[in-house]
A and B are shown apart, each in its own frame.
Chain A
Amino acid sequence: MGHTDTQFDEMLAGLDQARPPYEGYYDWFCGEDLKGLRRKSAEAEAFFRRIGITFNVYGQEEADERLIPFDIVPRIISAREWAKLERGIEQRVRAINAFLHDIYHRQEILRAGRIPQHIIAGNDAFLPQMIGVNPPGGVYTHIVGVDLVRTGEDEFFVLEDNARTPSGVSYMLENRETMVQMFPELFTQLNVRPVSSYPQLLRRSLSDCAPQNSPNGKPVVAVLTPGIHNSAYFEHAFLADRMGAELVEAHDLRIEDGRVAMRTTQGYQPIDVIYRRVDDDYLDPLTFNPESLLGVPGIMDVYRAGNVTLANAPGTGIADDKALYSYMPDIIEFYTGEKAILPNVPTWRCSEPDALAYVLEHLPELVVKEVHGSGGYGMLVGPVASKKEIAAFEKKLRAKPSNYIAQPTLSLSTVPILTKAGLAPRHVDLRPFVLVSPNRIDMTPGGLTRVALKKGSLVVNSSQGGGTKDTWVLGD
């Protein structure tokens, strides 16, 4: 599966011929003039700035707060396509929670030999402190973001599971709000499923996981943020605001009478559920990182005693680790007894001699990733690498094969964006957001579509020239 130019465009099947989900939108689009739409784009940007929907960039004083570019052409998913994604994601999320419970208790999956011991034992994302801990409500990943890519009509792949603290949901909500304000006529004409109930669902989902023995009548929920300099601070404040929860930093909290309490104008008040947007390492200096000045000393003791809910639970990172990713189909089968509905991207584990031999032979076609790397560092993208780069990488790979996995370079689908010259295709991915509570799984129809704004680029990250689109799921 090499990189080709015959990529799948989700809107247009041919010149001026829209695919079924886009028919209504495309008719409307053809009746609009380009200048007017360009003006709407500028309006949208001004709107985002005024609301303050920005992300912070570290170490760049002038560009301290930046906007993520927003494209006004929506990404549209049919009811049928969504139904399949929904089933596949739900299956995956159930398996992830079952896996996390198992891996921190009896470890049946290791005993059964379905995944090798060393993947867990030597992994920093596995937290021994979580062994035997029972999270309130039995839920590990309250909020999951599953990254999907598409390569054809019916070909969706899971690229990554985000089981720690997935971000981006505020863009999903604000993108929709902006679109409804700018193009109300589209929403009266077309049957687009709403996304606006996400904050209420999140609040309910978190409340449903509250400790049973809470002294508060109604569970008190707080969002824990690292503070206003964090790159996702806008989202933390936004979600707290929309849920009607308090937005706290670690220094607002302390342990009192065996519970986590926040400092209010009237003294310390106990909290039941903490939607934490800080990493495991910064939760509790007594348990995880004695060097850290951040965190709430003793919070893990309260957690282990079952007196506070942390969402997501500490230690969930073991489920979205790259080394584990290639075992996800086995994990799904082990816990659900079913085949995975959504496939993984095919992955070669370089720790296995046959796979390594294949990878070494096909380096110019493959993407090779470091198992513990993130953010695109330590990665080889074969088709765009020079001979010299490939040779250098080959050396590293031979020296420590178990440190790498390899995947084919996928030909990602495109959705058009609005440029000065009109519509132009750009590569996209999709991150739907899933909420897990003891009795239910809620999925907001749609999610965050990220788009690589540069022609031909496959990089959708906001830090590297990526933008976002509103994502529409059509009703039946």
Chain B
Amino acid sequence: MMLGKNAGGLFWMFRYLERAENIARLLEAGWYIALTHAKDDGSNEWESILITAGMNAAFLEKYESYDAHSVINFLLRERSNPSSVMSAIEAARSNARMVRTALSGEVWEAVNECWMELKAILARPVTERNLHETLTLVRNRTSVVRGALHGTMLRNDIYAFARLGTFIERADNTARILDVKYYVLLPSASFVGSSMDNVQWEVVLRSVSAERSYHWLNGGDVTPQGIGEFLILDKRVPRSLAFCYLKIGQYLDLLEEEYGVRQDSQVLAHSVCARLDKATVETIFDEGLHEFLSALIADTGSLAHQLETDFRFYG
């Protein structure tokens, strides 16, 4: 038995941690492109990163052009931006404080230290010189929280809600990254591989920290089909949509086992799992990648909403 409020707090704590991590990865990818490619390609990349992060409109309210310094600081430390890394970490810690009785001491300390260190380093503007160090810190600190969760928490409902938050946020993030690149790159499914493409797809792979594993699986052959298979359907890839939904289904099954009730959210999650199981990369591209991703983003949103209701997060 646990409080509905705590279930919601855990869910959001881990959504926000995942979000902070994803934004750090996106920035890392954008920065890599800006450094390694000609100005004309690179400067545009910031816009697509802001679109992927869902922050382009908010950015344009504050700034007129996409210079590296403004984008980096907007994504990392802008207080008025509720999804900046600092805001997300603050929100994660605030949720952790609220649900502290549900967390092991080690998880709480890990998230509290994460917050303290990032607060200190993000108190001043991030320059190009310390960007890498800052992004590494975000990844390391959030990894410590995850490690403490794996190593010290009971595998019960508390754990399930934490993991559901992680995978819902991750599925949403992966779908958005693909969807943004779809517009840039795939006016038609038959369009395959110019050199500019490859730059763009590399951003995609880097922003999910998967360039090494992709190349290992595909032997250096970068195609839209290969990337689609990898990020949508391959259950070995921890950031693919199929993997995220596999986990979401499993944790909802665990809750069913614990509570003895099959909830609407579980039915919805398993219907998405079934859709992903049936699909091939060819059918997805034929029927429209954008349509497929839009439907999945919408389903993920509905699922999050249904979890709220099924498990009484707010009353």
Contact surface of A with B, Cβ cutoff 8 Å: 49-52, 228, 233, 237, 240-241, 245-249, 251-252, 262-267, 269
Question: Looking across the interface, which residue of chain A has its beta carbon closest to that of B109?
Answer: A50
* Pick from B98, B101, B109, B315: contact of A246, CB under 8 Å: B101
* Pick from A52, A247, A266: contact of B108, CB under 8 Å: A52
Residues of A within 8 A of B108 (CB): 52
| Contact indicator A52/B112 (Cβ below 8 Å) | yes
Question: Looking across the interface, which residue of chain B has its beta carbon closest to that of A225?
Answer: B98
Give Cα A50–Cα B144 distance, bound, in whole angstroms: 14
| Contact indicator A237/B101 (Cβ below 8 Å) | yes
Residues of B within 8 A of A251 (CB): 5, 315
> Nearest-CB distance from A266 to chain B (Å)?
5
Residues of A within 8 A of B116 (CB): 49-50
Main secondary structure of the interface of A (DSSP, over half): mixed
* Pick from A49, A233, A248: contact of B3, CB under 8 Å: A248
Given contacts A240-B101, A251-B5, 9 further A-B contacts (CB under 8 A): A49-B116, A50-B109, A228-B98, A246-B3, A246-B101, A247-B101, A263-B5, A264-B4, A265-B4
Residues of B within 8 A of A246 (CB): 3, 101
| Contact indicator B312/A264 (Cβ below 8 Å) | yes
Q: Does B35 interact with chain A (Cβ within 8 Å)?
A: no
Q: Does B7 interact with chain A (Cβ within 8 Å)?
A: yes
Residues of B within 8 A of A266 (CB): 1, 259, 261
Residues of B within 8 A of A228 (CB): 94, 97-98
| Contact indicator A267/B312 (Cβ below 8 Å) | yes
Q: Does B57 interact with chain A (Cβ within 8 Å)?
A: no
Number of interface residues of B (CB under 8 A): 22
Give Cα A247–Cα B311 distance, bound, in whole angstroms: 18
| Contact indicator A233/B97 (Cβ below 8 Å) | yes
> Nearest-CB distance from B45 to chain A (Å)?
35
Whether A263 contacts B98 in the complex (CB less than 8 A), given A50-B109, A50-B112, A52-B108, comes out as no
20 sample A-B contacts, Cβ–Cβ < 8 Å, listed by A number: A50-B113, A51-B109, A51-B112, A52-B97, A228-B97, A228-B98, A237-B101, A241-B101, A246-B3, A247-B100, A248-B5, A251-B315, A252-B4, A252-B5, A262-B3, A263-B5, A263-B315, A264-B3, A265-B311, A265-B312
Q: Does B217 interact with chain A (Cβ within 8 Å)?
A: no
| Contact indicator A265/B97 (Cβ below 8 Å) | no
| Contact indicator B112/A252 (Cβ below 8 Å) | no
Q: Does B157 interact with chain A (Cβ within 8 Å)?
A: yes
List which B1-55 residues lie within 8 A (CB) of chain A. 1-5, 7
> Nearest-CB distance from A343 to chain B (Å)?
41
Question: Looking across the interface, which residue of chain A has its beta carbon closest to that of B315?
Answer: A263
Give Cα A248–Cα B98 distance, bound, in whole angstroms: 10
Give Cα A52–Cα B105 distance, bound, in whole angstroms: 11
Contact with A along B299-315 (1 / 0, CB 8 A): 00000000000011001
Residues of B within 8 A of A249 (CB): 5
| Contact indicator A241/B100 (Cβ below 8 Å) | yes
> Nearest-CB distance from B154 to chain A (Å)?
13
Give Cα A247–Cα B94 distance, bound, in whole angstroms: 15
> Nearest-CB distance from A42 to chain B (Å)?
15
> Nearest-CB distance from B243 to chain A (Å)?
25
Residues of B within 8 A of A49 (CB): 116
Give Cα A249–Cα B315 distance, bound, in whole angstroms: 12
Question: Looking across the interface, which residue of chain A has its beta carbon closest to that of B310?
Answer: A265
> Nearest-CB distance from B160 to chain A (Å)?
10
